[in-house]
Amino acid sequence: MTTQFNNPRERLSFYALVALGGLVSAAGLAAALTMEHHGHHITGMNNQIVWGLPHVFAIFLVVAASGVLNVASIGSVFGKPIYKPRAPLSGLLCIAMLAGGLAVILLDLGRADRIIVAATNVNLMSVFGWNMILYPGMFGIVAVYLWTMLEKRMAPWSKPVGFAAFLWRLLLTTGTGSIFGFLAARQAYQSAVIAPMFIIMSFAWGLAVFLVVQKVMLGWNDLELHPAIRARMKNLLGVFVAAVFYFVAVYHLTNAYYARQTAFESFILLDGGIFPLLFWGGWLFLGTILPLLILYLPALTAIRGSVVAASLLVIFGAFCQLYVFIVGGESFPLEMFPGMAASSSFFDGQVDQYVPSVPEILLGLSGIGIAFTMTVVAVRVLPFLPKDTKLEAAGTD
């Protein structure tokens, strides 16, 4: 247990952070109750755009939760020594972010109590049904994984349990991506490349989150990350970011190849209003090109805090990408009768407009608040902070 405070300032900062996280979480709960009481008509969502900004936050948290566990997998499964001291924090962030993301999804349903129906009547023919197994399984496996890392008697089981967690998180991210990839009703989504694209996105986003949290937690305890470890992890982040660029490029090039997808690609990339701006400026430039320059140009990498800045840009780009992918994909009209124009009182055949409401913003932020609060409390109670030895810091394998 590490509940002792070194000084009054440390005690004050801890309770202030817990209060901040609790306030953000409570505001999200109040927003969800407001939406449930008045109905979803008070949001920017409608009969065409049913997944709004809360789902952008939720999908980011769920996907990044899977990817952040990659740090632990590299250490225990693949035997890389510099990652082993970071494995407990990696597992903690996985559980915290997954809890935050699922809380947002649950509260955004409008009838959160109906989750009992989905849990007790699992439909294995539905991707959503798969996730009713994958998400609870992830909590259980990672909890056991943390037990093997924090309890010396369980240390011999760390590698086999870590390997199980590695496989399970690949299944979980595949299931999350398949929600969109198997959705034939939306021409913007249906694609076999989406599942592997979500896996590599989880690697990049999870590592970016981990680097930011690691920096904050070490600074909170007056510790410094060894330069050799910093260099190794920032290079790995660069590889993941470049891989995300490759898969996103393949996804859009594949869509552009088919004539039936040309109009959608033109909408997303050229004339879709906010969506091209977020794609080219938010994701491509700020979330991909600029972080790669920061991570690989020696003059920029040498600047103090540059890796954290690059990680924050990657996270910002992730939100831009998800907004374009989720909301943009729903805004584009469904092609109900190929080759023919369709219109009705429900605005069929027309591009829909979506403006997030305050309750949606608060609900989305509450997922981050839940993950933040869980992490702050757990790091204070149990030894999750990385403790590098000189040998581990010097190692590059």
Q: Residues 26-45, buried b or exposed e (16+ Cβ, 10 A)?
A: ebbbebbebbbeeebeebbb
> Residues 385, 223: contact at Cβ < 8 Å?
yes
Residue 392: inside a domain, yes or no? no
- Its pTM surpasses 0.95: no
Q: Name residue 55's amino acid.
A: H
Distance CA 125, CA 384 (A): 39
CA separation (Å) from 56 to 61, 64, 101, 152?
9, 12, 10, 39
Residue 210: closest CA among 52, 381, 375, 387: 375
Residue 1: inside a domain, yes or no? no
Give the CATH number for residue 213.
Answer: 1.20.1630.10
Residue by residue, pLDDT tens for the chain (397 residues) are 445 666 677 788 888 989 999 999 999 999 999 988 888 888 888 777 888 899 999 999 999 999 999 998 888 778 788 888 888 999 999 999 999 999 998 888 767 777 777 777 777 777 777 878 888 899 999 999 999 988 888 888 888 998 999 999 999 998 888 888 777 667 778 778 888 999 999 999 999 999 999 988 888 777 778 888 888 999 999 999 999 999 999 998 888 887 777 888 888 898 878 999 999 999 999 999 999 999 999 999 888 889 999 999 999 999 999 999 999 888 877 766 566 666 666 656 677 788 899 999 999 999 999 999 999 999 888 878 776 544 344 444 4
Number of domains in the chain: 1
Residue 396: inside a domain, yes or no? no
Question: What is the residue range of 207's domain?
Answer: 10-335+343-381
**306-323 helix and 194-220 helix, angle to the nearest 10 degrees:** 140
Residue 248: closest CA among 322, 285, 291, 197: 197
- CB count in 10 Å sphere of residue 350: 13
Residue 228: inside a domain, yes or no? yes
Q: Name residue 341's amino acid.
A: A
